[in-house]
Amino acid sequence: MVILKSHKVHGGTLSYCRHASEATGTPMTFSIFIPAGEGPFPLLVWLSGLTCTEDNFTTKAGAYGAAAAAGLAIVAPDTSPRGQGVADDLAYDLGQGAGFYVDATQEPWAKHFQMESYITGDLLAVVGQDFPVDLARVGISGHSMGGHGALTLALRHSNLFRSVSAFAPICSPSRCDWGRKAFTAYLGAHETAWMPHDACVLIEAGAAKFDDILVDQGTGDDFLESQLKPELLAAACKAAGQTLTLRMQPGYDHSYFFMTSFIADHVAWHAARL
């Protein structure tokens, strides 16, 4: 693990890092904020959305003041493997920048696009080894594609994550164009392979329950009806007895202006559970 650069912020330290990932077979990058003090600190994993890198949340979300006050570390990884020899697509919603936090089984993606294994394995391992964080106290959150990732990884790996929240998540990727396109490419044409990566299906099937799931969704989001479908998540949670706090925020869109308006709530929400 190499620290590429670091900055002092809100009394803590923000570092940009690169390390070799066994899961993806490529170098991977992430940012990590460590608050002042000795630690070990609880850790929040942030997963970004389509087209993002580790830099979008880091520079736009405005999370570190709240994280410093709560004594919470935050790690924000890149959204996919990148580099020479890594498969890509001309469209923004497939390939580099669009890993969807699944382990691809189809060519040409399977060689490098192993993002579920990366997040739950290599990333946590390197952060736990090189920074003062407590891997027994980890939460996960994200936006859009990353909100989908946060929900599904938490439900699939409840042994790793103790809290989960999301901003404008793709709630049921098997029932929207973004998800169906990505799942067909990464997991194949048979929809049975998609179901273990759809949060609504996982909840309906009895996935491990959390005390609560926090979701913020803007009513002015252009993707609300066509891609995100929070009503499906609400219905799945109600049917399964999973507590869901779904906050429909009037007029907010899909941008980081939305996230920076409510990120302190999510930081405090995770800190209280970690």
Q: How many residues does the chain have?
A: 274
Query: How many helices (H) and strands (E) in the chain?
Result: 9, 9
How many other CB atoms sit within 10 Å of the CB of residue 6? 14
CA 185 to chain centre: 20
Structure-block tokens of residue 136:
């027994």
CA–CA separation, 119 and 101 (whole Å): 8
Q: What is the DSSP string of 119-180?
A: IIIIIHHHHHHHSSEEEEEEEEEEBTHHHHHHHHHHHH-TTT-SEEEEES----GGGSHHHH
Active site residues: 144, 221, 254
What does the buried/exposed string (b/e) look like for 217-248 if buried means 16 or more CB atoms within 10 Å of the residue's CB? bbeebebbeebbbbebbebbbeebebebeeee
Other Cβ atoms within 10 Å of 8 Cβ, number:
9
What Å distances lie between residue 108 and 19, 122, 203, 234, CA to CA? Answer: 23, 22, 31, 35
